[in-house]
Structures are given as C-alpha cells and as structure tokens.
Structure 1
Amino acid sequence: MILAALTLQAAAPPSAVDAERAFNAAAQAKGQWTAFRAFAAEDATMFVPQPVQAQAWLKDRKDPPKSIEWWPIESHVSCDGKFAVNTGGWKLPEGRVGFFSTVWRREAEGGWKWTVDSGELIETARHRPAEPNLRRASCAGKPVQPPRFGYREGPSESGASPDGTLAWHWHVSSSGARRFLAWIWDGKALVQVIDDKIAASGK
C-alpha cells in the first residue's frame, strides 16, 4: 500500500503545465476522449457549446481516429498552488486551429484534474513557446473579491482558489455565446489575465 502510494505520488505531474502536457500526451497515445475522461474531475464542466457535466458527456464517447493536439502558452497559479488556469493553442488533425483556457485543481494525492475546459476555433494558430509563461499569484496582502456579474439569462459560474489569489468566471447565453475570465492577485489588486469572448455558433 505504501509503495503504491509513493509510486502514484512520483507519477503525479508536479505542476499544472506538466499536467497539461501529460493530458495532451495521453490523448495522442490512448485516445482523445479516453484522456479527457482520465484527466477530468468528477465535477468538471465543459462546453458543447452549452455547459455540460463533463464526465456524463464523455461517458462511452468513442475516440476519433486521431486526437486534437494542444500546448500551453500561459499558466496562472494561485499562491497556495492548489489551482491554476492554463491557456494555449490547439490544432485539429485536418489543420483547423483554436485556443483553450482550462482550470486545473490539485487533488489530495498530489495529482491534477481539470475542472473547467473552454475553447474555440480561431483563424490563426497561437504560437508554441518552448516554455509557457508561468505567473504565480502574490502571497502578500488580503485578496479582494472578484467582480460580480448579473445576467438576464443563461448559466454562469464563478470560482476561486481557497486563498482567493486566483479567480475565474464563465457565462453562456441562450444563443451559445460564451465568456471566460480569470484574475490573479498581484498583492494589491486582482488583475485580469484572461478574457475569452466566444461568439454564438454561426456568428
């Protein structure tokens, strides 16, 4: 039992960037939806384009012949190291490209699971840096509450790391238009680092 626990801990990706890369590698080696199921938290949300419970949507979904591939460009990490938001680019097998923003949570055993996954097609591929830009929240001061949003319709959800130094929010309108935002604490204020605005399908 102890040996198994140590083996699991040693195999756990040490950072959210490592988790993102391991996630992509698993998709290439084992299959796209197989990897999505393996790396998704039980309470994870994804968008198709309306929000769905990821594990329920992914259940029994067959892997495509070739997987999408993706790469992290930025990783924003809470001061306590328990949450991160990665953003980057992706490419479909036939050549179309897009971007993603994913919320990651460090689990009790030390590994990482994604809890929110959002993305969309774009015309020009995002660059592939040798190493993504890593930004860790300040541990100084007392983080303020992130902005509050009010909507007339459509589901939305806000989240934050336990220490409040990393926060995120998403909203999907009835048309399917979506917005995903993230903020990081710099010691004095919550600074917006992501604002993904995704038009409704066909617009």
Structure 2
Amino acid sequence: MIRAAAILACLALAGCSGGPPPVRYSDGFMRNVRNTANPSTVAATEIAFARAARDDGQWTAFRRFLADGGVIHGRNGVIDAAGFLATQSDPPAAVQWTPLAVWSSCDGQLAVTQGKFAEPDGSWGYYVTVWERQRNGTYRWSYDMGAPDTALTERENRDREPQSEDDSTVIVVQAIPMIQGEVADCRADAAAATGPAWPDAAAATGPAWPDAAGATTGVGISRDGSLAWRWVQGADGRRMFAAQQWRGGAWEPALDFAVTAEGRVDPQ
C-alpha cells in the first residue's frame, strides 16, 4: 500500500521525470463526480482520519477532519465540536477506529458511518459518524457519538492473538474487508422531499426511544431528500441515533444506535 501511494504521488508531481502528462478533466465530468454517491470514498476518508489520529495526534486529527458546525454527542448531550477541540491536547496514545458500514444519500452529499473503536486501555466500542461532502469534494464529519461495548470488549480481547508492541494498525487491517456500503434510491420529488416520520416512544421499532418529556433532539436530511438522520438525548442520560434511507419509494431504517444512561452501548 505504501509503494502504491508513492507511485501515485510521483505521477501527480510534475517533477517526476519520465512520468505521463497530467490528466485534465472537463468541468462537466468533475461536476458529475462531485454529485455521485461513492461510499468507498467515505470509508477511505474515515480510515485516513483514524490513521491521522495515530500519526499526528487524536484531537489534531479530529480538528483537521471537522466540518463547520460539527457536534459531538457526549453523555450530557450535544456540544460544539470546534469549541471543545480547541481546548484539548493530544493524548500520548490515540483511540483507533475503523468503519464497518457506510450509508450514503443518492447524490453523495451526506453519509453515515458506523464502526468499532479500540481505546488504549483495551476497551472496545462502537461509534456512529455523519459525514458531509464539501464544495471541494472532500468529506468532513459533522456529528459523532460513540460508547464502549462490554460484549465487544470481551470478544476482541479473547480472540485477539498476541501482537508486537506496535500493533496499532491491527484493528484497521482486520476490518477493511468487512466494510458494507449502501446507497439510497434517488427521488424524483427531491425538491419537495421531507424527512421520515420518526417513531415516538410508543411506536418505536428497534431500541426504545427516550420519552419526549425532557428530551432534546436534532435532525438532518440530505439535499436530495434520500438520507435522513436524527439524534435524541433523554433526560435520564440515554442517547439515541437513527438513520433512514429512501428505498423503493418509501423510508426504511438504515441504522439504530442506542447508548444506556450509564454510557455503554445498549445490548437490546
């Protein structure tokens, strides 16, 4: 992989003698690329994000890949990510993570990823991240929530073979072949599209949503109306995230993610 990256970098530089001339694409071609869903690009960005955390520092990487207005959903609710990250110094060892699944809007403007992470202390957990494509075609994260998972921690530490002292790449290497990518259907009525009718506590499917009384919530939807997401913070400390995608002319669940009041992934 390192050799391939070096070759690609050489081809991109005019100073590499003997290389082919740079390829120039039309404005129309580049516009189509920017408006096309590509879950693999989102996954590659997330993997690069995790690698930057390891190489350059955890919070340094979080700042570098942050979208304007991004938020972090912690135990006590959603906080402004830029303000929080501005006060943080990089820890000696970074959390490592990798995506396991990607859900993209039809136009590729919005994507949601779910993956697993490993703390330096040996605990493991799951996370969910919302990604927004920028004007230059790159992806930056706008929402992030994660929590440790007891069953995953036990399974990973039991099954994991002894590694060398520097084994920080193991989680990525193991998970890359397992990444699942899904793209929502395009909508002919995108101009008038609205988000799904989110379930209330009484009619919820999957994990039970916190009661509306005392809960705070936030929602987002892609510009083309094909992917929507919602978070809820319960007064009792529970956190919820859900994403729905447009499929076959109707909304269908893509992801439900629940965290208990004690701050662990809900096993239900």
TM-score bucket (shorter structure): 0.7 to 0.9
Q: Please tell me whether residue 91 in structure 1 is matched to residue 118 in structure 2.
A: yes
> The residue matched to 1:119 in structure 2 has which SS?
strand
Q: Please tell me whether residue 15 in structure 1 is matched to residue 41 in structure 2.
A: yes
> The residue matched to 1:128 in structure 2 has which SS?
helix
C-alpha separation in 1, matches of 2:80 and 2:55? 25
- The alpha-carbon deviation at position 84 of structure 1 amounts to 0.4
Structure 1 residue runs of 5 or longer lacking an equivalent are 4-8
The verdict on how the C-alpha distance between 1:94 and 1:104 changes in structure 2, with shifts beyond 3 A counting, is same
Query: Which residue identity does 2:112 align to in structure 1?
Result: V
Q: Any conservation in 2 of the 1:68–1:93 contact (CA below 8 Å)?
A: yes
- The alpha-carbon deviation at position 185 of structure 1 amounts to 1.1
1:63-98 deviation digits (Å, cap 9, x = unpaired): 111000001110000001101000010000111000
Q: Which has the higher helix share?
A: 2
Q: Please tell me whether residue 180 in structure 1 is matched to residue 180 in structure 2.
A: no
C-alpha separation in 1, matches of 2:263 and 2:125? 16
Counterpart in the other structure of 2:129:
102
Counterpart in the other structure of 1:6:
none
TM norm structure 1: 0.87
- The alpha-carbon deviation at position 23 of structure 1 amounts to 0.6
- The alpha-carbon deviation at position 148 of structure 1 amounts to 3.7
Q: Any conservation in 2 of the 1:167–1:183 contact (CA below 8 Å)?
A: yes
1:3-54 deviation digits (Å, cap 9, x = unpaired): 9xxxxx9xxx972111111110110001111111111112011122121011
Q: Please tell me whether residue 26 in structure 1 is matched to residue 26 in structure 2.
A: no
Pairing partner for 2:177 from 119, 126, 130: 130
Counterpart in the other structure of 2:66:
40
C-alpha separation in 2, matches of 1:106 and 1:169? 18
Pairing partner for 1:146 from 192, 196, 215: 196
Identical aligned pairs, as a percentage?
32
Query: Which residue identity does 1:155 align to in structure 2?
Result: T
Q: Which has the larger radius of gyration?
A: 2
Counterpart in the other structure of 1:120:
147
C-alpha separation in 2, matches of 1:124 and 1:190? 31
Q: Which moved more, 1:136-145 or 1:186-195?
A: 136-145
Pairing partner for 1:74 from 81, 94, 101: 101
Q: Which has the higher strand share?
A: 1
Q: Please tell me whether residue 52 in structure 1 is matched to residue 79 in structure 2.
A: yes
- The alpha-carbon deviation at position 173 of structure 1 amounts to 1.4
Query: Which residue identity does 1:98 align to in structure 2?
Result: G
Query: Which residue identity does 1:156 align to in structure 2?
Result: T
The verdict on how the C-alpha distance between 1:202 and 1:110 changes in structure 2, with shifts beyond 3 A counting, is closer
TM norm structure 2: 0.67
Say how many residue pairs are matched: 194
Structure 2 residue runs of 5 or longer lacking an equivalent are 1-12, 14-29, 31-37, 157-173, 201-211
